[in-house]
Structure 1
Amino acid sequence: MTTSGDDPAADFDPPLVEPPTATDPDSLEAWLAALPASHRSGRAPATWRAYAKDLAHFAGWCLAEHRQPLPTDGPTVADYLEAHGELLSLATLRRRLAAISVAHSLVGITRPTAADEVHAAWKRLRRRYGPSQQVRRVEAVLTRTLGDLVAPLSEDSVMDARDRALLVMGFAGALRRSELAALDLEDVQRTPEGLRITVRGRGDGQGTGDGGQRVVDLPWGAHRQTCPVRSWERWVELAGLRSGAAFLSMTKGGKSLKPRRMTGEAVAEVVKRRAAAVGIDPTTVAGHSLRAGFVTSAVRYGVPDRSIMRQSGHRSPASLTAYAQGAVVPQENPASRVGL
């Protein structure tokens, strides 16, 4: 961003140091804290601590996406911006770019933030979310909200059955909209405990991904309306699915199925349409809302980070931060454990 003045690290040109040995938050904070005073001048200690957290979040995302965090390249940084444009403010993303830029300058590597791909991605984000646009924060669909979205849906309507399965499975599996779109029928297996889903990377809506996969288990739900297993099996039954795409497009009005898979954009439209139907402003939700809702709900229920990460595919606790919107882990009251 050096030509536009958006990179606060553009004039940062310190003597070289050894790269960090690890990219978790503590290691990165220790690495930056150990820099000589000449490297740290001009920036407050709080700024360096923020940089450490920013770098850890970027590194966690890179690991989950099978990318290299340090050194990295322009396309990777651009993809990171696009992936978080709906979740983070422009100010936060700008600071993330500064942290990435500073880290590469410290070890003597060309700043990836100056790449054309990053310039283009930043311009797109500014057009979508800049000061001239209406402020929009994508909200997480929490457990109670999910129940509200699916409550009006009929069990006898093909479209309703599809939308229920999308919403419930997307939430319970902490799935991205692209991952839902990329699912094939063969990727969803019934087990005694519920469903086992093979998520094959971040799909492009054509049944392919960009590498890597994870296995996600979806249990039986306590409530019929939000049960992943019942929702999936009802959709498969009504649609008569035998192979191929797990979720199909439909004609306008939902009168019949089309012989092609849904796109990620179509998944997001389902979230918006079902939100609008129950009185929720559709501009406040998106495809990310299901994944963010699972993580936020799980944190509020006190689920350990390692369990959430196993479901969502995050590689580090720091990478959960952008999704857990204002969630605070409940603290157990010790008075409840002393036999009163």
Structure 2
Amino acid sequence: MERSLKNSGRPTPEITLPAHVAGSGTLDRLVDTARDYARGATSENTNAAYAADWAHFTRWCRRRGAEPLPPSAEVIGFYIANCASPDDRSPALSVSTIERRLSGLAWHYQNRGFTLDRKDRHISTVLAGIKRKHARPPVQKEAVLADDIRAMVATLGFDLRGLRDRAILLLGFAGGLRRSEIVSLDRRKDDTLDGKGWIEILDAGVVLTFRGKTGWREVEIGRGSSQQTCPVHALEHWLHFAKIDIGPVFRRASQDGTRALETRLSDKHVARLIKQTVLAAGIRSDLPEKDRLALFSGHSLRAGLASSAEVDERYVQKHLGHASAEMTRRYQRRRDRFRVNLTKAAGL
């Protein structure tokens, strides 16, 4: 298969038949199938981010009379230096954003039949210098803790939208879910083409099976001690009153709020919901509204569970689907940091 080398911002490769192979109906269909699989190789959010990275780079090259193709380590070194110290009024990018942009460029070059050597000295030494001069500790979002989530769901009504949003918050918190994972769930396996998981409600709780950021995994969410804050009870209520037996679990509601539509909610709804209910519940009211909104995001639910669950760390790690305990600790805003005291263990 050949790849088109057109200078476009498409987030997937142009897959075509080799020039020496005659086309046919069967082969043409296989080309379309291969393109579909190529589009699904990375998540929609990643595709969108990489497309934006490529568009930014090609625009930067065009303004400076450089060519984006074929890849030039020197040009890319100049580019990331300019991202860190812009020569115009645009804001400087963080080290993590610059590294993400390099990943996006490497991905696009690979899909165009090229290889970008990020270890080339024109790139690696410039990036090392940027890290040394500009690297800062990661900015973490505030965790939504158990008392916070109770206050947030208390601000919601009991109409259809309120039932839906209550289920989203409680399920997202108890499952330690990403916002994309919440809205990707279907009622049952293979209900829709765009779904990435499904739910199974049992007597003791609900089992979520979905394709997350790190692959397929199961998340078990047990029933809570109170119906007012039980995520499974909230989910059952939403499904019952929304009359959802098949298709996306979380959907838009009609304008009059009396029925659930077929359209799946966007993950942006989860982020907006968290910010809205944080304000309504008066969480961190010691800060101005602008600062409060900036503190909380979709990841606040995952960080909240990791910080609130008083169980062995390995259970939290498995629940969140983390490959390492170190990653889990990044989500724990509140933990016993000195539970293991090596100073005393060493005899001092």
Shift of 1:162: 0.5
Select which of 205, 217, 220 maps to 2:220.
217
Segments of 4+ moved more than 4 angstroms: 90-97, 112-115, 251-256, 329-332
* Shift in Å, 1:284: 2.0
Q: Which has the larger radius of gyration?
A: 2
8 A contact 2:183–2:265 mirrored in 1: yes
Residue 147 of structure 1 corresponds to 150
* 2:257 pairs with 1:263: no
Match of 1:304 among 299, 303, 312: 312
1:289 corresponding residue in structure 2: 300
Distance, in Å, in 2 between the alignment partners of 1:194 and 1:112 is 49
Offset of 1:258 from its aligned partner? Answer: 2.9
1:107-141 superposed Cα distances (whole Å, 9 cap, x missing partner)? xx9437988xxx9xx9xxx9xxx9xxxx9752110
Shift of 1:326: 4.2
- 2:212 match: secondary structure: coil
CA distance in 2, matches of 1:269, 1:244: 23
The yes-or-no answer on 1:192 pairing with 2:203 is yes
Distance 1:243 1:231, change over 3 A: same
In structure 2, what is the equivalent of residue 162 of structure 1? 164
Kindly provide the amino acid, as one letter, of the partner of residue 241 in structure 2: L
Alpha-carbon offset, residue 321 of structure 1:
2.6
Matches within 5 A, 1:231-246: 231-246=234-249
How many aligned positions are there?
211
2:229 corresponding residue in structure 1: 226
Q: Does structure 1 conserve the Cα–Cα contact (< 8 Å) formed by 2:155 and 2:277? A: no
Asked whether 1:321 is paired with 2:336, we answer no
* 1:306 positional shift: 1.3
Q: Match for 2:326: what amino acid? A: A
Higher relative contact order at CA 8 Å, sep ≥6: structure 1 or structure 2?
Answer: 1
Partner of residue 253, structure 2: 250
Deviation at 1:285, TM superposition (A): 1.1
Task: Tell me how far apart the structure 1 counterparts of residues 337 and 140 of structure 2 sit (CA, whole Å).
Answer: 22
Assess, with a 3 A threshold, how the Cα gap between structure 1 residues 331 and 95 changes in structure 2: closer, same or farther. Answer: farther
Change (3 A) 1:261 1:111: same
* 1: CA distance, partners of 2:209 / 2:220: 9
Structure 1 match to 2:10: none
Distance across 1 between alignment mates of 2:209 and 2:272:
24
Distance of 2:143 and 2:267 partners within structure 1: 17
Alignment map for 1:174-193 (pairs within 5 Å): 174-186=176-188, 187-193=198-204
Shift of residue 260 of structure 1?
Answer: 0.5
- The alignment partner of 2:200 has SS state of strand
Alpha-carbon contact 1:136-1:283 (below 8 Å) kept: no
Q: Is the 8 A contact 1:136 1:284 kept in 2?
A: no
Q: In the alignment, is the contact (CA less than 8 A) between 2:181 and 2:210 conserved in 1?
A: yes
Alignment gaps of 5+ in structure 1? 1-65, 68-73, 79-89, 101-108, 203-210, 333-340
Give the letter for the 2:202 counterpart.
T
Structure 1 pair 329/151, CA: closer, same or farther in 2 (3 Å)? farther
Distance, in Å, in 2 between the alignment partners of 1:264 and 1:241 is: 19
8 Å CA contact 2:252–2:264 kept in 1: the answer is: yes
Alignment of 1:79-158 (within 5 A): 93=96, 110-111=117-118, 138-154=141-157, 156-158=158-160
Contact 2:223–2:230 (CA<8 Å) still a contact in 1?
Answer: yes
* 1:292 counterpart letter in structure 2: A
Change (3 A) 1:283 1:257: farther
Aligned 8 A contact 1:188 1:196 in 2: yes
Task: Determine the C-alpha separation between the residues in 1 that align with 2:277 and 2:220.
Answer: 25
Q: Find 1:171's aligned residue among 173, 177, 182.
A: 173
Three-state SS of the structure 2 residue aligned to 1:321 is: helix
Provide, for residues 17-68 of structure 1, a one-character-per-residue CA deviation record: whole Å limited to 9, x for no partner.
xxxxxxxxxxxxxxxxxxxxxxxxxxxxxxxxxxxxxxxxxxxxxxxxx99x
SS of the residue corresponding to residue 111 of structure 1 reads coil
Tell me how large the CA RMSD over aligned residues is: 3.7
The superposition leaves residues 201-238 of structure 1 with CA deviations (integer Å, 9 ceiling, x where unpaired) of 24xxxxxxxx7211111101012222111111001011
| Structure 2 counterpart of 1:59 | none
The alignment partner of 1:318 has SS state of helix
Secondary structure of 2:228's counterpart equals helix
**Secondary structure, aligned partner of 1:245:** coil
Unmatched segments (≥5 aa) in structure 2: 1-40, 43-48, 54-92, 104-115, 189-197, 284-291, 341-348
Name the CA distance, whole Å, in 2 between partners of 1:260 and 1:94: 32
Q: Percent identity?
A: 31
